[in-house]
Amino acid sequence: MWPFKKKSQSEVLRARYDALMKESFDLSTRDRAASDLKRAEAEGVMDELVRLEGK
């Protein structure tokens, strides 16, 4: 058995969503417009994740 497991597409999308939300939160205190853009990008990733898991 191999010790490394390849991540599924949903795991990759969830990790990307988490990273974008963290970045949005970090930006929220300095640049609200950039924070809103990151949040919108994260919501797009979440929509893709929901669509993938809905199949």
Percent of the chain with pLDDT over 90: 82
Record the pTM: 0.85
Query: Per-residue confidence at 20, pLDDT binned at 50, 70, 90?
Result: very high
- State mean pLDDT over 9-25: 96
Query: Is it the case that residue 30 has pLDDT exceeding 60?
Result: yes
Query: What is the per-residue pLDDT for 2?
Result: 66
Distance of CA 50 to the CA centre of its chain: 12
Query: Is it the case that residue 1 has pLDDT exceeding 70?
Result: no
- The DSSP line for 3-53 is S--PPPHHHHHHHHHHHHHHHHHHHTTT-HHHHHHHHHHHHHHHHHHHHHH
